[in-house]
Chains A and B, each alone.
Chain A
Amino acid sequence: ETGVTQTPRHLVMGMTNKKSLKCEQHLGHNAMYWYKQSAKKPLELMFVYSLEERVENNSVPSRFSPECPNSSHLFLHLHTLQPEDSALYLCASSQDVAGGREKLFFGSGTQLSVL
């Protein structure tokens, strides 16, 4: 496996369900990110982790809960989501936290539909 892998690729869930998105990076990077991509909108940064420590949380509702057990793995736990949370959720990694010339490497994303 190379790069950044995300599972599942597609997820359909009801508003009362609990599910988790998983991301794994094989690049030896220190920083990992969750982004949300909605149609016709810019990528929205949700969470940033640097060496397993959360360094940024962009006013994301508490129904999204990230977890970073080590520098290679990142999870996004979902519960009681709303239909407007339907979007493509992208995981990314970079050598260090993007504060200068860091380049992001994205996973293939999870297309989430909330019914």
Chain B
Amino acid sequence: QKEVEQNSGPLSVPEGAIASLNCTYSDRGSQSFFWYRQYSGKSPELIMSIYSNGDKEDGRFTAQLNKASQYVSLLIRDSQPSDSATYLCAVNNQGGKLIFGQGTELSVKP
């Protein structure tokens, strides 16, 4: 089992829709969770962090964490073509290591 697992996609949504990106992790003791966005040919950029169960909203982005289910998700409301990128889930596990998933490619169609 991968330590951090994401569907590689591509996930295609129409402009204006909600994009839902999912991530599961194996270490039940993990405490910190991050979403990075990586445009093609560019470096990853942190867009959200979440540490407690529940939802955290920042503009059009909402991160959701469910530690019991070992699941973290990122919702993007009113998706725009400029949101087209690969989204990397990263989990800081109990050993203090930051583990990345392979990323989900999102394509927002005009």
Contacts and interface: CB of A to CB of B under 8 A. Distances in A.
A40 B7 CA distance: 11
Given A41-B102, A42-B103, A99 B96 contact: yes
A101 B99 CA distance: 13
Interface stretch (A62-70, A75-83, A104-112): A104-112
Contacts of A103: 34, 46, 49
A109 B76 CA distance: 26
B44 A90 contact: yes
A106 B101 contact: no
A45 interface: yes
B87 interface: no
A51 interface: no
Contacts of B49: 101, 103
B30 to A, nearest CB: 11
B61 to A, nearest CB: 15
B101 A42 contact: yes
Among A42, A90, A97, A105, chain B packs the most CB atoms within 10 A around the CB of: A42
B43 A90 contact: yes
Given A42-B4, A45-B97, A100-B96, A106 B102 contact: no
Contacts of B51: 101
Contact of A98 (B42, B45, B96, B103): B96
A104 B98 contact: yes
Contact of A43 (B44, B45, B46, B96): B44
A109 B45 CA distance: 12
A106 B31 CA distance: 22
Interface of A: 40-43, 45, 90, 97-109
The 8 closest A-B pairs by CB, nearest first: A99-B96, A106-B43, A43-B100, A42-B100, A98-B98, A42-B102, A106-B44, A108-B43
Interface of B: 2, 4, 8, 31-32, 34, 36, 42-46, 49, 51, 88, 92, 96-103
7 contacts: A42-B100, A42-B102, A90-B43, A101-B32, A102-B98, A106-B45, A107-B43
Given A98-B92, A99-B92, A104-B98, 9 more contacts: A41-B102, A42-B88, A43-B88, A98-B96, A101-B32, A104-B36, A105-B46, A107-B43, A108-B42
